A and B are shown apart, each in its own frame.
Chain A
Amino acid sequence: MPINYYIFLSIALFCIGIAGVLTRRNAIIIFMCIELMLNAVNLLLVAFSKMHSAAAAALPDAATVGTDGQLFVFFIMVVAAAEVSVGLAIIVMMYRNIHSVDVNFLNRLKH
């Protein structure tokens, strides 16, 4: 499978996420679009890791070439889980204070 296909699929997913962040007003959906962008990058990292392991099949340490990319994906998932817990706590607090999750109500930084 050419690496081109994975690159274009990841770019498409990432751009859909960007368009969602720009067009929606619900803070939770904006947050979900950020998760979508993180997953697009994860998919690209795994594809590149498999590409490097395919290119290094003849080297003596071929068993571990490309493992780094998959471990980066693992750490991205760890950070994303921590980010979601804190971010959703912030959204809940925002909802408790202004009774809405509309990001347009937050553009004045006072309330």
Chain B
Amino acid sequence: MNITQILFWLLSVTALFGAMMVVTSRNPVYSVLWLILTFFSISGHYILLNAQFLAIVNIIVYAGAIMVLFLFVIMLMNLNKNAEPTRGRWIKFAGAISGGCLLLVLVAALRSTEVSSKSVQVGVGEIGLIKNLGRELFTNYVVPFEISSILFLSAMIGAVVIGKKD
């Protein structure tokens, strides 16, 4: 077992544990912090796959911007107390059973497919570097890139209009 596999298992366990704690934490602020831990471990997976640009963007956009926005809204609503009314025990049980059934079905369906015998390049390869991605983004994908700027503008206007006190 070399260092790459050890890092893979460590990051996987961290991601899964963080995700479990997001769902089970009573306090929304703790949920946000566990979700940040999950995003950092997913960024670690990206670095392990040599997708450095996506790792940095994941940290900046998700763990930096989006999670700060979540924390800001939670603080604004003063929700950082354990006041959430809980669902009944049977609803929780049914939700967990449904998620587990989906997990079971997907794992059983994808366990022995043809793709599952292939392997992933770990730690080598240049397609995740910013040089390759930038060239591709500004040649073949330049139209979706510009459209996404319009999407951002409309989202900003929409958020301001919805959040405005009238």
Q: Which B residue sits closest to A54, measured CB to CB?
A: B121
How many A residues touch the partner, as a band?
35 or more
Query: Contact between B53 and A70 (Cβ–Cβ < 8 Å)?
Result: yes
Which residues of chain A (54-71) have a CB below 8 Å from chain B?
54-55, 63-68, 70-71
Overall SS of chain A's interface: helix
Of residues 37 to 82 in A, which have CB atoms within 8 Å of B's CB atoms?
39, 42-43, 46-47, 49-51, 53-55, 63-68, 70-71, 73-75, 77-82
Interface residues of A in 9-53 (CB under 8 A from B): 9, 11-20, 22-26, 28-29, 31-33, 35-36, 39, 42-43, 46-47, 49-51, 53
Which chain B residues lie closer than 8 Å to A85 at the CB level?
69, 155-156, 158-159
B136–A67 CB distance below 8 A: yes
B162 close to A93 (CB less than 8 A): yes
8 A Cβ contacts from B1-37 to A: 4-5, 8, 12, 15-16, 19-20, 22-23, 28, 31-32, 35
Contacts of A73 in B (CB 8 A): 54
- Decide: A70 and B51 in contact? CB cutoff 8 A: yes
Q: How far is the CB of B15 from chain A (nearest CB, A)?
A: 6
Question: Which residues of B sit under 8 angstroms from A3, Cβ to Cβ?
Answer: 115-116, 118-120
A18 near B98: Cβ-Cβ < 8 Å: yes
A110 to B52, CA, bound (A): 48
Using known A-B contacts A5-B8, A16-B23, A51-B120, determine if residue A23 contacts B128 with beta carbons closer than 8 Å.
no
B84 vs chain A, min Cβ distance (A): 5
Chain B contacts for A68, CB-based, 8 A: 136
Selected contact of B126 from candidates A31, A63, A104, CB within 8 Å = A63
- The answer to whether A63 and B132 have CB atoms under 8 Å apart is yes
Residues of A within 8 A of B156 (CB): 85
The interface residues of chain B lying within 8 Å CB-to-CB of A9 are 12, 15-16
Task: Give 6 nearest A-B pairs by CB, closest first.
Answer: A19-B99, A22-B95, A82-B155, A23-B95, A20-B23, A15-B103
A-B contact pairs, 16 of them (CB 8 A): A9-B12, A9-B15, A9-B16, A13-B16, A17-B19, A36-B22, A39-B42, A63-B127, A63-B132, A68-B136, A73-B54, A77-B61, A82-B154, A82-B155, A85-B156, A86-B162
